[in-house]
Every structure is written in C-alpha cells, then in structure tokens.
Amino acid sequence: MAVTPRLGLIVAAIAAGVGLSLVAPAAQAAPEAVVREDGQQAEAVAEAAALAAQLAERQQTLSSLNRAADARDRALIGYRAVLARYGYHGDPEAVSAVLPLASYDLSAGFGLTGPLWEAEHGGQDFGASAGEPLVAVADALVTEVADAGPYGLRTILTLPDGTELWYCHQTDATVVAGQQVGIADVIGSVGATGNTTGPHLHLEVRPDAGSPVDPMDWLRDQGLDP
Ligand SMILES: [Zn+2]
C-alpha cells in the first residue's frame, strides 16, 4: 500500500522538475492515494464485482437480442426466397405484388378473339402443370370461390383498392370466401376445369370489379416482369 503514494510523489516530483502542467493533478493524486484504506479497497472490490455482474447481465440480454435478430433474419431470408420464386426480387419489407404462379408458359394473351371465347379473351393464360400452386398476387380478401361455368373453379380476390383478380380453371381451392390472404399465400392450384383445352391459369384483372384490363400491363405496373 505504501508504493502508491510514494509513486505519486515521485511522479509529482518528476513532473515538477520538468515543469509540466501535469504538476497540479499529479500532486493531488498523492494525498488521495494515501487516504485509501483497506475498507475502501473492499468497497472497490465489491463495486468491481457488481460491475462484472451487470456486464454479464448485459451480455445475456445482448445475446438474446442477437438470437431474436437472427430468427428474424432467417424468417426474412425464407420470405425473400418465396417472393423471388414468384418474380419479386426487391426488399421483402417493400413488396406489394408477386406473380400468381412460379412456373408457367405464357399462352393466349388478353384481347384475342377466336373460337374458344364468346367475346374477346378477357384475361391472360399461363400454361402450367395441373397442380402447380397458385398464390395471391397481393394482400386481398377472398370474395368468391365457386364453379363458374366456362371459367371452371374460380377464386376471386378483391384488393383493398377494389380491383378483382379472377383465378380460373383451378383444380382445387385452399381458401374460402371471406378469408384474408397475404402476398404469395397459396390459394389453390392450376387445373383444367371449365372451358379449356388443357391445364392453365386464366387470370383476369378487373379494376373496380368492372371490365377486365390486360393482366400483363397490370402486373408490369406492379413492377413485375411476367
Ligand atoms: Zn384464358
């Protein structure tokens, strides 16, 4: 214990000798050190132990926060992969729409006329294997799931802005009317029900539940590349 005050004095003496501005604080350090008794040493040890405990606690909190962040990142990476499968490659937090199916060949386009259709073709056909999953292109309310004659088994999703999306010729549906669906949620599968020559998705986009517009234009307007 005697070393510290002596050292302080030596430092003070050296500092004084060299004429540094350090003189004052160094000179003050010596008497403080002298006052340091065993009781204060014990207090300092207890203080250090408390700090160590606090530090350990903080590290625990930090590692549990890290675990939560890691879980969130993993979920995010999983979601990102799902969105990418349906044609969206941007920030998952900013997604507003995806393509209705992952694997397809574009067939009959919008506005065609021919023996297959009573009037102009009101949608876009996506040729795909029967059973290929169909997903919600956006957050929507399921407003109808029913057999619709030439359209076959049809699911209608209504977007918050009133736009209707018709998924036609489905093999089956995995949602029911009144249900809320999220982007890329599976709603059913591709089929060949109704008036069709083979399995495909006939997708219609009807703003304000009115006349159909070209789904390809609509999908491109959502930033997608169908
Ligand atoms: Zn069609």
Q: Ligand 1: distance of its center to the CA of 27 in Å?
A: 93
Q: Ligand 1: distance of its center to the CA of 205 in Å?
A: 12
Q: Note the pLDDT of residue 208.
A: 97
Q: Ligand 1: distance of its center to the CA of 171 in Å?
A: 15
Q: Ligand 1: distance of its center to the CA of 214 in Å?
A: 12
Q: Ligand 1: distance of its center to the CA of 186 in Å?
A: 20
Q: Note the pLDDT of residue 34.
A: 53
Q: Note the pLDDT of residue 109.
A: 92
CB-neighbour burial class of residue 191 (10 A; exposed 0-12, middle 13-18, buried 19+): buried
Q: Note the pLDDT of residue 18.
A: 42
Which residue ranges in the chain fall short of pLDDT 70? 1-37, 115-118
Q: Note the pLDDT of residue 15.
A: 42
Q: Ligand 1: distance of its center to the CA of 181 in Å?
A: 24
Cβ proximity of 30 and 12 under 8 Å: yes
Q: Note the pLDDT of residue 31.
A: 52
Q: Ligand 1: distance of its center to the CA of 124 in Å?
A: 6
Q: Note the pLDDT of residue 35.
A: 55
